[in-house]
Amino acid sequence: MYAFTQHRPATVRQAASLLAKQEEAKLLAGGHTLIPTMKLRLAGPKHLIDLSKVEGLTGIEMRGRSLIVGAMTPHVEVQTSPVVKENFPALAELAGKIGDPAVRHRGTIGGSIANNDPNADYPAAALGLGATIITNKRRIPADEFFKGLFETALEPDEIITKVQFPKVNKAAYVKFPNPASRYALVGVFVSKRGSEIRVAVTGAGANGVFRVSAFEQALKKRFGVKSLEGLSVPADGMASDIHGSAEYRAHLIGVLARRAVAAAG
Amino acid sequence: MATATIERLIGKSIKRREDPRFITGRGTYVDDVKLPGTTHAVFVRSPHAHARIKKIDTTAAAKHPGVVAIFTGKDMTGVNSLPCGWLLPDLKVPPHMPLASDAARYVGDPVAVVIAETEDAALDAADKVKVTWDVLPAVSATDKADARTSAQIHEVAPSNVAFKWQIGDAGAVDTAFRNAARVVKKKIVNQRLVANPMEPRACLARYDAATGDLTLWVTSQNPHVHRLLMAAFVLGIPEQKVRVIAPDVGGAFGSKIFLYNEETICSWATRQIKRPVRWTSTRREAFQTDAHGRDHVTEAEMGFAADGKIVGLRVKTIANMGAYLSTFAPAVPTYLYATLLNGVYTIPAIHAHVTGVFTNTTPVDAYRGAGRPEAAYLLERMIEAGAAALKMDTVEIRRKNFIPKFDNGFQTQVALNYDSGNYAAAFDKLLRMLDYRKARSDQEAARKQGRFLGIGFSTYIEACSIAPSKVVGSLGAQAGLYESGKVRVHPTGGVTVYTGSHSHGQGHETTFSQLVADELGIPMEQIEIVHGDTGAIPFGMGTYGSRSASVGGTALLMSLNKIKEKGKKIAAHLLEASPGDIEYANGQFQVKGFPGKAVPFGQVALTAYVPHKYPEGLEPGLEETSFYDPSNFCFPFGAHACVVEVDRDTGQVKVLRYLAVDDVGNVMNPMIVDGMVHGGIAQGVGQALLEGAVYDKDGQLVTGSLMDYCMPRADNLPVLKVDMTKTASPSNPLGIKGCGEAGAIAAPVAVINAITDAIGSEDLAMPATAQTVWQALQKANNRREAA
Ligand SMILES: Cc1cc2nc3c(=O)[nH]c(=O)nc-3n(C[C@H](O)[C@H](O)[C@H](O)COP(=O)(O)OP(=O)(O)OC[C@H]3O[C@@H](n4cnc5c(N)ncnc54)[C@H](O)[C@@H]3O)c2cc1C
């Protein structure tokens, strides 16, 4: 690890101004992505702006027909929250499948979404539920947020404060973990909200999380496993590595989507 | 005097005495040893698989604050190559310098060391060491290493061939195959593995300028072997000036047997800078530089008579040695592999040819099982292929071929003479535990619901008690492996045992105490076990090859017997009887037939140290040392079964049941044996389903971290059902065969056989990841459709 200075702002405004002012500064949330990369000397920020003492960044609540989750909420709280379990069981289940207990107690929803790891789980939920990412500056629909591998719409001094999920009628997430990292080799999140169908895929895309419109259109006609029969995703544009070829990943999307639809009921 | 019989501890599941300190975080590992003035070493390693070193510029790095010294290979004058400790006829032994100075030959090959006040300063400075490389073509694939077009790695080894070695009778196999009803042929790959012990390698070297003594704390399974090889062979320091301490060691699985570059360099460097030098491996370095295991590519043929009897076996194996010959590397694919190809079966003709090749990869050496898992995997895949070709049941074909029960010696076709065996008994016990018939009917019922279940078996034989000097000497090895055991009885009757065996997870502090407690009839609390310090123990060979209980335990037993014999003389004097009339029982020396006429052990001990009333001519003191060189290997064996379910849509394999019957001879502590078997099975399941070191064609290690190299975890396994049969070994007085490697030997092929049974396809490579199984299913489907 390279030496760095740690800052502990108390408000989002202070954090944002530090982020804008300091050169080579990075926000620190749960640190479960950032700290390992720093330990390997793959990242060497000069300043770390620790969000752990910033007020107003945690908490889970229903506001009208939306669920609001503070950016600094650790995965374990989403997993175990009665509010989430009642209104978004698929989201609670997804959070419970992230990493191991240590990861779930430290890692945060804001950190995960900001990081946009192509194999992470939360991006699938955000895109699959049509969430809105709320920052210190604006509200960004999930459809416009995830831009590519580890890339998002966030500007350099922008901080995620909350994530808002609209309530849906049906949803399910099926994850096929990479046996080594236990991140998603492929994960498929499906939801139905009135006539809006979303099928979001993480792990498989060469460019990160994406939606499968062919599946969505088929499910729009009838939300059932049968609607997906015979449909497949082309291997083109899929990631390929020692854990799974593009062809295998494409195949898994079909399998997992059918299972997710079945689980969503 | 009370003569209540003391409860025997051998054979009981005594809880491990060492565990309280481990599970409360109070073990002392190398990295826990703190010395004032310690400096920190960081190695500059090759990022290339194969590159000539044109220039190493350390000027900028040397100016970095906190840097104490920087050394390259050119600075290490008068230092010899790291030795290969096991030579074969015509073996090509290229130099393996601690710091490469001509060329780097694998990713991670160290070329310079930066020593600084802190680890951070050393890391920062290491970034500033500028190496100018001339990148050369590299080869990593085992079966391409000796191709004409391949990179040439060492001058002494044309076509990268380290050795060609053979065993058995080629002519007899030819004849057998001519008369065989069926000869099945298969390409068998045993993939490369990384041991990954929990504690990474580490060392701390301290040179005392006042006395000229060097002390090295190092993660070692065999501190004396480390000392001998490093001091005498490489650094040219007299052994009496070097003390090697292997304190608590957090797992090893073979990878800590060998003499590595890093401890050698730190030991050399501390003498230069006259300050202690520390190095602790990162996990990334561990992946790149801990000796890897396995990595065989084999063409095998097995011939069968029409009734399913095996008539012959022909094996051609290419074994990857990596970039250099690690300490025992050449022994593994030869003496520890090909000599086990007789398995538990009657095979009238066997011939094996092994080619060892160099590649631009991390050196390969012994890893849990070392050669024997490769042999078991091959045999059990071949017999499975035979069953398929002859349309025989896999149980029946095995039963037909077992060597019948024997108690004292079975001469194999590949040099070894088995000690004792009852192979069918272990297999039958396993079938009863499994309820084979029910398992098959469950499989059929599941199939009707579209679920793919599979049942797989494996049998194995292992050569343990490594290694009887005479036997391996006659096979051409230039080393033999005995063990030492010293028993020191203190004046007040307490006992300290100094063993040459080394515990790095095996539980010697418990099992050896059980042995001493039983032999001397004293409570375990009165016994301490000391190991891992050349300054304290007699010359010892260490722990690997499932040898501690059988070889180290026997050495200890010999010393205990000597103690008792001497004690009888002292007791006879005290009791005014003749030594021949004294017997030792329940912690006291007594006159035969007169239990009332007795002296307790403690009183005899005190007399030995305060010898006022003492036999004429007898030396005072009560301390004995013994060295035991076994007369033969021991041959544990067993049979394992596995039931899997394959998800036909994804290829995902779930192990539903795993059962094992192992025969490890007499058992000192069943709980510890079960633990050993459990751990071994976990590693074996890991090899079957999850693990595999992957190099790309340029020699970059793709699986360089735990994010990409998959270790087995608890949820990859079902509850294991393990049991034993007990066939005492006639090779040692304890009747022990050894249990350390059994699971890792038997498990991979039991799992793979279960998967091939489930998917109805013989083509499957390890690790059988979901993708691999899915592809095999696709191929099988396509074949079926084409047919
Ligand atoms: C062993 C292990 C296993 C894991 N397994 C999984 C898994 O199965 N599935 C999965 O999805 N994830 C997994 N993770 C990742 C985990 O979920 C992390 O928590 C997550 O990637 C990052 O969250 P964090 O709070 O730790 O962020 P940090 O590491 O602190 O930060 C990550 C990045 O996001 C930025 N950032 C953080 N917060 C904000 C914010 N509010 N606004 C803007 N930018 C911000 C940081 O500057 C940094 O660049 C695993 C991690 C580990 C260590």
* DSSP string covering B423-472: HHHHHHHHHHHHTHHHHHHHHHHHHHTT-EEEEEEEEEE--BS---HHHH
Give strand pairing partners of A175.
Answer: A187
pLDDT digits (tens, 9 = 90+) for B348-366: 999 999 999 999 999 999 9
Question: Please, are residues B500 and B542 in contact by the beta-carbon 8 Å criterion?
Answer: yes
Query: What sign has the CA pseudo-torsion B205, B211, B213, B217?
Result: negative
Chain mean position to CA A155: 18
B395 and B434 in a single domain? The answer is yes
Domain limit, last residue, from B590, B609, B628: B628
Which residues are within 8 A (CB) of B1 and not within 5 positions of it... i.e. 6 or more apart?
A: B588, B595, B596, B598, B600
What's the CA gap between A121 and B650, in Å, rounded?
A: 19
Provide the domain count of chain B. 3
- Beta carbons of B708 and A180 less than 8 Å apart: yes
Burial of B404 (0-12, 13-18, 19+ CB in 10 A): exposed
In terms of domains, do B70 and B202 share one?
A: yes
Residue whose C-alpha is closest to residue A38's, from A1, A89, A83, A80: A1
Query: Domain for residue B262, yes or no?
Result: yes
Which ligand 1 atom is the nearest neighbour of the CA of A29?
Answer: 30
Residue B2 pLDDT exceeds 70: no
Asked whether residue B223 is domain-assigned, the answer is yes
**What CATH number should be reported for the domain holding residue B210?**
3.90.1170.50
- Please check whether residue B157 lies inside any domain of the structure: no
The answer to whether the Cβ–Cβ distance between A40 and B123 falls below 8 Å is no
pLDDT band at B5 (very low <50, low <70, confident <90, very high): low
Contact B45, B288 (CB under 8 A): yes
B95 plus B60 within the same structural domain: yes
**CA proximity to B427, closest of B662, B635, B639:** B639
Ranges assigned E (strand) in B90-158 = 103-104, 110-116, 130-135
A27 lines ligand 1 (CB under 6 A): yes
Return mean pLDDT, chain A. Answer: 97
- Cα separation, B645 vs B643, whole angstroms: 7
pLDDT digits (tens, 9 = 90+) for B49-106: 999 999 999 999 999 999 999 999 999 999 999 999 888 889 999 999 999 999 999 9
- B6 has pLDDT over 80: no
Residue B110 · residue B99 · CB < 8 Å? yes
Quote the mean pLDDT of chain B: 96
Summarised one tens digit per residue, pLDDT across range B571-589 is 999 999 999 999 999 999 9
Does the bond joining B388 to the residue before it have cis omega, within 30 degrees of 0? no
Residue A188 to residues A176, A208, A250: CA-CA distances in angstroms?
Answer: 9, 13, 11
Beta bridge partners of A135: A160
Contact A181 B690 (CB under 8 A): no
Torsion of CA B20, B21, B23, B25, to 10 degrees: 150
- Supply the CATH number for residue B355's domain: 3.30.365.10
Q: B599, B628, B657: which is the final residue of a domain?
A: B628
Residue nearest to atom 32 of ligand 1 (CA): A111
Instruction: Compute the nearest-CA separation of A135 from chain B (Å).
Output: 31
Which pair of structure tokens corresponds to residue B549?
A: 């209980």
Is B207 found in the same domain as B71? Answer: yes
Q: Classify residue B159: in a domain, yes or no.
A: no
Q: Let me know whether B678 and B611 are in one domain.
A: no
Instruction: Let me know: does B26 contact B681? Beta carbons within 8 Å.
Output: no
Token digits of residue B562: 């000597």
B14-31: average pLDDT: 97
Alpha-carbon gap: A258 to the closest alpha carbon of chain B (Å): 11
Over 60: is that where the pLDDT of B742 sits? yes
Q: How many residues does chain A have?
A: 265
Per-residue burial over B641-650, b if 16 or more Cβ lie within 10 Å, else e, is bbbbbbbbbb
Distance CA(B581)–CA(B481), nearest Å, equals 37
B568 and B546 share a domain?
A: yes
Compute the average pLDDT of residues B178-183.
Answer: 98
Residue in A98, A106, A122, A202 to alter for ligand 1 test, most ligand atoms within 8 A of Cβ: A98
- Token pair of B512, please? 């050896």
Tell me if A93 CB under 6 Å of ligand 1. no
Q: What is the pLDDT of residues B200-248, one digit of tens each?
A: 999 999 999 999 999 999 999 999 999 999 999 999 999 999 999 999 9
Helix axes B372-390, B742-759, angle to 10 degrees: 30
State mean pLDDT over B97-126.
98
pLDDT digits (tens, 9 = 90+) for A127-175: 999 999 999 999 999 999 999 999 999 999 999 999 999 999 999 999 9
Share of chain B above pLDDT 70, in %: 99
Question: Which stretches of B92-197 are assigned E, i.e. beta strand?
Answer: 103-104, 110-116, 130-135, 161-168, 182-193
Preferred mutation among A1, A248, A259 to probe B, highest tally of B CBs within 10 A = A248
Q: Residue A179 is nearest to which of B120, B710, B774, comparing CB atoms?
A: B710
3-state secondary structure of B608: helix
- Measured distance CA(A211)–CA(A220) in Å, rounded: 14
How many C-beta atoms surround the C-beta of residue A57 within 10 A?
22
B334 with B418, same domain: the answer is yes
Residue range A50-63: mean pLDDT, rounded: 96
C-beta of A121 in contact with ligand 1 (< 6 A): yes
Atom 1 in ligand 1: which residue has the minimum CA distance?
A: A99
pLDDT tens digits, one per residue of B661-681: 999 999 999 999 999 999 999
Contact, B324 vs B110, CB < 8 A? no
B316/B450 same-domain check: yes
DSSP notation for A200-213: EEESSBTTS-EE-H
Q: Whose CA is nearest to atom 36 of ligand 1?
A: A111
DSSP codes joined into one string, B340-386: GTTTTB--S-EEEEEEEEE-SS--B---TTTTHHHHHHHHHHHHHHH
Q: Which is more confident, B545 or B94?
A: B94
Contact B774 A179 (CB under 8 A): no
Chain A environment of B775 (Cβ under 8 Å): 248
A96 lines ligand 1 (CB under 6 A): no
Provide the pLDDT for residue B3: 47
Q: Is the dihedral of CA B512, B513, B516, B517 positive or negative?
A: negative
Instruction: Note whether residue B472 is domain-resident.
Output: no
Across the interface, do A252 and B650 touch by the CB < 8 Å criterion?
Answer: yes
For B379-421, how does the pLDDT look when each residue is reduced to its tens digit (9 = 90+)? 999 999 999 999 999 999 999 999 999 998 999 999 999 999 9
> Which pLDDT value is given to residue B4?
54
SS3 A125: helix
Neighbouring CB atoms inside 10 A of A87's CB total 17
Each residue's pLDDT tens digit, B310-332 = 999 999 999 999 999 999 999 99
Distance from CA of B64 to the nearest CA of A (A): 14
The answer to whether position B601 is within a domain reads yes
Amino acid at B451: R
Mean pLDDT across the stretch B699-711?
A: 97
- Tell how far the Cα of A38 is from the centroid of ligand 1, in angstroms: 13
Distance separating alpha carbons of residues A230 and A249, to the nearest angstrom: 16
Q: Compare all CA atoms of chain A with the CA of B709 and give the residue at the minimum distance.
A: A180
* Chain B hits for A176, Cβ within 8 Å: 650, 652, 770
Please report the sign of the dihedral spanned by the C-alpha atoms of residue B728, residue B729, residue B734, residue B738.
negative
Decide: helix, strand or coil at residue A23.
coil
Domain C-terminal end among B607, B628, B649:
B628
Ligand 1 neighbourhood includes A34 CB (under 6 angstroms): yes
Q: Domains plus CATH for chain A?
A: 5-50 (3.30.43.10), 60-166 (3.30.465.10), 170-264 (3.30.390.50)
Contact residues for B580 (Cβ-Cβ < 8 A; gap 6+):
none
For ligand 1, whether the C-beta of A9 sits within 6 Å is no
pLDDT of residue B245: 98
Residue that has been written with the tokens 């036997």 in this structure = B471
- Ligand 1 contacts CB of residue A25 (under 6 A): no
What lies within 8 Å, CB to CB, of B543 at 6+ separation is B221, B222, B501, B502, B503, B504, B506, B508, B552
Query: Binning pLDDT at 50, 70 and 90, where does residue B467 land?
Result: confident
Residues 6+ apart with CB under 8 A from A264: A90, A170, A171, A172, A190, A191, A192, A223
pLDDT of residue B787: 79
| Domain span including residue B111 | 33-136+198-251+256-289
Are B600 and B461 in the same domain?
no
At B466 the pLDDT is 87
Residue A249, min C-alpha distance to chain B (Å): 9
Shared domain for B661 and B762, answered yes or no, is yes
| Cross-chain CB nearest to B702 (options A242, A251, A255) | A242
Q: Does the structure show a pLDDT above 60 at B168?
A: yes
What one-letter code names the amino acid at B367? Y
In a domain, B387, yes or no: yes
Domain identity same for B239 and B124? yes
Amino acid identity for residue B634 in this structure: C
- Cα–Cα separations (whole angstroms), residue A134 to A107, A143, B622: 18, 13, 79
Rounded Cα distance, A218 and B524, in Å = 72
Beta bridge partners of A252: none
B430-444 per-position pLDDT tens digit: 999 999 999 999 999
pLDDT at B92: 97
Q: Do A243 and B771 touch (CB under 8 A)?
A: yes
> Is B303 a member of any domain?
yes
Distance CA B439, CA B721 (A): 15
Verify whether ligand 1 is closer than 6 Å to residue A29 (CB atom): yes
Structure tokens given for B362: 């991390």
Q: Are residues B753 and B675 in the same domain?
A: yes
Cα(B314)–Cα(B301) distance, integer angstroms: 5
Q: Cβ contact (<8 Å) for A248 and B771?
A: yes
